[in-house]
A and B are shown apart, each in its own frame.
Chain A
Amino acid sequence: MKKIKKEPQENVAFYNNPEKRAIIYQILALAGIFIFTYFILNNMFINIEKRGINTGFDFLSSEAGFGIVQSLIEYDESNSHGKVFIVGLLNTILVSAIGIFFASILGLLIGIGRLSKNFMISKLCMVYVETFRNIPILLQILFWYNVVLASLPSPRQSINYFDSIFFNNRGLYIPKPILESGFIAVIIAFILAVIACAYLVKWARKKHDETGEEFPVAWTSLAILIAAPTLVFFVSGTPATLEYAELKGFNFTGGWTLIPELLALAFALSIYTATYIAEAVRAGIEAVPKGQKEAAHALGLKEHIILKKVVLPQALRVIIPPVINQYLNLTKNSSLATAIGYPELVTIFAGTSLNQVGQAIEIILMTMAVYLTISIVISIIMNYINEKIKIKER
């Protein structure tokens, strides 16, 4: 609250002087916090000593002694709790990234769908949003995991797509690309293609500024990005092969396995978050004044140009902040994995590791610190984007 600066009054008692009173309030607040902190820390040390709880971060280097069903890096039972922390963190990032990717696509489609002139499409999208937004995310995760995935067939009766993708109650099996040394050429080709596209964009913008001619940048870039690496891939003699999953005994081996816990979690997170993203997209597009579109029409611009150059740039300004917030929510909600046992940070570190070493304070604080860091990083990114896209006023 901004107050008008008051004239200093000499003759009033100090407790009636707002500035002096403010200092007293703050000193009292600080003192209260210090006393409270001292009280809880004191109790904590007494309790720790009485119960014989270890303290410190030595446990991070001691052997974990338990297996983890899915890990992005090499991990076995002899690894330390510190490694468990890393594995959990990577799994959190994995499921969040998958969730964010699909939630964005689905949310965008549904959000646009709600504004469709087609009666059926807009009503179906509305039903989708109103249904999934009003059901707790944990319930959705449990439902997909315990009801839908559990009712899938066993590995022997897998649902089979082209003999290369298998889907059963143990998970989803997809072919795994095995890269040979020659693949580096393909990667280089891709990087060169990206650089070429950057130059293309620059050149097209310059051309547009000078002559007013439009060059189809998006399609050309896409073509370059796909064609160049593909060409190099075949010229260099296809330096990658696919390893297919095979049914051996009772289960599949080889290939990439997406465990059911990951599927259920990513699926539920995407579906749930997409409802919020859809609402953000809809609100953003609706926030663009109708006059903007009419003015663009009056200038004789084509429909897709209006969308690209008039409506979207203004809508994105409204859409981006809430959508990024939803990304953050999705990441935090991924911690609910602990209810179905997907091995992310909370499940294996704040769960299994905590039960083994019993150092609740260190472990919970470390877990919280991870999420706090993620949320601070995201809010820094958001402020940067907001700064970039805000209306430039003279």
Chain B
Amino acid sequence: MAIYETKQARPAPSGTKGLVHWLKENLFSDIISSILTILSFILLYITVPPLLDWMIFDATWSGTKEEITKDGARWIFIYEKFNQFIYGFYPEEQYWRPNLVLAIFILYTIGFRNINNTLARAFIIISFPIISVVLLYGGFGLEIIPTTKWGGLLLTIVVAAVGIIVSFPIGIVFALGRQSNMPIIRTISVMYIEFIRGVPLITLLFMSSVILPLFFPENMDFDKLLRALIGITLFQAAYIAEVIRGGLQAIPKGQYEAADSIGLNYWQTMGLIILPQALKISIPNIVGSFISLFKDTTLVLIIGLFDVLAMVTLTSTDPNWLGFETEGYVFVTFIYWVICFSMSKYAKSIEEKFNTDHK
């Protein structure tokens, strides 16, 4: 005979489940909350429907300029100018070249993930920049396309990619320099980093576009794009250095001591023990820094390069298409937003993947 009788669990009190409960808990928990909820709905009501009308329901999607009858967005402008937004003034019959670079990039990325051979990986890393430069600029039998013709999203990506790739090793060197126990090396690194981080990017771009040519012999002709790239790279290297320094500081002292005790020298310690760990810790912040750089590439328009944002102003001054800035800006906003948002989501996902302490 049982000592006790099991009773049926009582059903949950009414009103702790279901939609009504959820609404009460999350939207109308008290008076202030209810007022805020109602205000939010009013806000959504006055902003979202007109926006949707403008962007989708009243919008003109296709046809010619003369067929615009509605008040909504005139996306035919984007359709008409799409190639300029993407390629700038790159000759139309040569579009296959940037496209091929993109295709190679995708192929290489897939390859890089699946190939574990160090030599093959090194080949991929070294060959990609060379192939890209040759394809985009020309030479070896290809028609030369001067950088003044590069523009649009193509230019934006070139500036961002070069900034990211070139600044990375420089940033590592300065991060190590700042953590070094050689006073002169440390001072040089600190001065560089603090100087670059203390001034706005735009002044660095001005410096590289106006002053830099004065620093070199007169016969050395600097391409406008190259000057912008130098400014962007100097800028990004300082930020990357600080991000990596954060990672280096997080490495416990015991790691250095262990490396010392097995007789590794400085470069072995750094290359095999410290940097791999520091970089792993810093990945989310490095991606964050890349996102900032990608957004900051818009600044090149101030020194007269035609990136995707500058294309808005340029295309809307076309006498046949006057006054289409709004559509242009919305389109470019969309491009930036999608790229930056996916990068930041990606950063968050790696952060979770690398989070090895189980909370």
Q: Return the contact of B200 from the options A43, A134, A333 (Cβ within 8 A).
A: A333
Q: Is A149's CB within 8 Å of the partner chain B? A: no
Q: Return the contact of B329 from the options A43, A146, A354 (Cβ within 8 A).
A: A146
Q: Is B206's CB within 8 Å of the partner chain A? A: yes
Q: Given A136-B336, A142-B329, is A44 in contact with B26 using a C-beta cutoff of 8 Å?
A: no
Give a binary string over B181-223; 1 marks a CB under 8 Å from any A CB, 0 the rest. Answer: 1111100100000010111111100110011011111100000
In the complex, identify which listed stretch (B74-82, B98-106, B297-305) lies at the interface while the others stay far away: B297-305
On whether the beta carbons of B200 and A332 are closer than 8 Å, the reply is yes
In the complex, identify which listed stretch (B64-72, B86-94, B147-155, B252-260) lies at the interface while the others stay far away: B252-260
Q: Given A135-B337, A335-B202, A346-B200, is A118 in contact with B29 using a C-beta cutoff of 8 Å?
A: yes
Q: Is A372's CB within 8 Å of the partner chain B? A: yes
* Complex CA distance for A130 and B343, rounded to whole angstroms: 12
On whether the beta carbons of A375 and B198 are closer than 8 Å, the reply is yes
Q: Given A4-B260, A40-B215, is A136 in contact with B296 using a C-beta cutoff of 8 Å?
A: yes
Q: Return the contact of B256 from the options A3, A22, A136 (Cβ within 8 A).
A: A3
On whether the beta carbons of B203 and A364 are closer than 8 Å, the reply is yes
Q: Given A33-B188, A136-B336, A346-B203, is A2 in contact with B256 using a C-beta cutoff of 8 Å?
A: yes
In the complex, identify which listed stretch (A45-53, A158-166, A183-191) lies at the interface while the others stay far away: A45-53
Q: Is B107's CB within 8 Å of the partner chain A? A: no
Count of chain A to chain B residue pairs whose CB atoms are closer than 8 Å in the complex: 158
* Complex CA distance for A122 and B274, rounded to whole angstroms: 40
On whether the beta carbons of B202 and A336 are closer than 8 Å, the reply is yes
On whether the beta carbons of B200 and A118 are closer than 8 Å, the reply is no
On whether the beta carbons of B26 and A119 are closer than 8 Å, the reply is yes
Report B40-65 residues with CB < 8 Å from chain A CB.
40-41, 43-44
Q: Is B351's CB within 8 Å of the partner chain A? A: no
On whether the beta carbons of B40 and A2 are closer than 8 Å, the reply is no
On whether the beta carbons of B199 and A40 are closer than 8 Å, the reply is no
On whether the beta carbons of A118 and B27 are closer than 8 Å, the reply is yes
Q: Is A305's CB within 8 Å of the partner chain B? A: no
Report chain A residues within 8 Å CB of B299.
138, 336
* Complex CA distance for A117 and B266, rounded to whole angstroms: 52
Closest to B274 in A: A1
Q: Is B333's CB within 8 Å of the partner chain A? A: yes
Q: Is A70's CB within 8 Å of the partner chain B? A: no
Chain A contributes a number of interface residues (CB within 8 A of B) equal to 56
Q: Return the contact of A136 from the options B211, B260, B295 (Cβ within 8 A).
A: B295
Report chain A residues within 8 Å CB of B36.
116, 118, 120-121
Q: How far is the CB of A20 from chain B (nearest CB, A)?
A: 12
Q: Is A143's CB within 8 Å of the partner chain B? A: yes
Q: How far is the CB of A81 from chain B (nearest CB, A)?
A: 17
Q: Given A1-B181, A139-B329, is A119 in contact with B298 using a C-beta cutoff of 8 Å?
A: no
Report A241-300 residues with CB < 8 Å from chain B CB.
none
Q: Given A25-B185, A121-B36, is A130 in contact with B200 using a C-beta cutoff of 8 Å?
A: no
Chain B contributes a number of interface residues (CB within 8 A of A) equal to 63
Closest to A130 in B: B341
Report A303-339 residues with CB < 8 Å from chain B CB.
332-333, 335-336, 338-339
Q: Is A195's CB within 8 Å of the partner chain B? A: no
Q: Is B244's CB within 8 Å of the partner chain A? A: no
Q: Is B332's CB within 8 Å of the partner chain A? A: yes
Q: How far is the CB of A203 from chain B (nearest CB, A)?
A: 33
* Complex CA distance for A339 and B203, rounded to whole angstroms: 13
On whether the beta carbons of A360 and B214 are closer than 8 Å, the reply is yes
Q: Is B344's CB within 8 Å of the partner chain A? A: yes
* Complex CA distance for A156 and B145, rounded to whole angstroms: 51
Report chain A residues within 8 Å CB of B213.
47
Q: Is B238's CB within 8 Å of the partner chain A? A: no
Report chain A residues within 8 Å CB of B207.
364, 368
* Complex CA distance for A44 and B220, rounded to whole angstroms: 13
Q: Given A25-B182, A117-B29, A360-B210, is A43 in contact with B202 using a C-beta cutoff of 8 Å?
A: no
Q: Is A137's CB within 8 Å of the partner chain B? A: yes
Report chain A residues within 8 Å CB of B309.
136, 138-139, 142
Q: Is B287's CB within 8 Å of the partner chain A? A: no
* Complex CA distance for A117 and B325, rounded to whole angstroms: 40
On whether the beta carbons of B198 and A3 are closer than 8 Å, the reply is no
Q: Return the contact of A29 from the options B181, B185, B344 (Cβ within 8 A).
A: B185
23 contacts between A and B (CB under 8 A): A1-B181, A2-B253, A22-B182, A29-B185, A44-B215, A117-B29, A119-B27, A131-B337, A134-B341, A135-B337, A136-B298, A139-B309, A139-B329, A146-B329, A332-B201, A335-B200, A335-B202, A336-B302, A346-B200, A346-B202, A367-B203, A372-B198, A372-B199
Q: Contacts A2-B256, A142-B313 known; list 12 others, CB within 8 Å.
A: A18-B266, A40-B216, A47-B213, A118-B27, A119-B26, A119-B27, A120-B37, A121-B40, A136-B298, A364-B210, A371-B203, A372-B195
B-side interface residues toward A, CB under 8 Å? 25-27, 29, 33, 36-37, 40-41, 43-44, 179-185, 188, 195, 197-203, 206-207, 210-211, 213-218, 253, 256-257, 260, 266, 274, 291, 295-296, 298-299, 301-302, 309, 312-313, 325-326, 329, 332-333, 336-337, 340-341, 344
Closest CB pairs A-B (n = 7): A134-B340, A375-B198, A119-B26, A40-B215, A136-B295, A332-B200, A120-B40
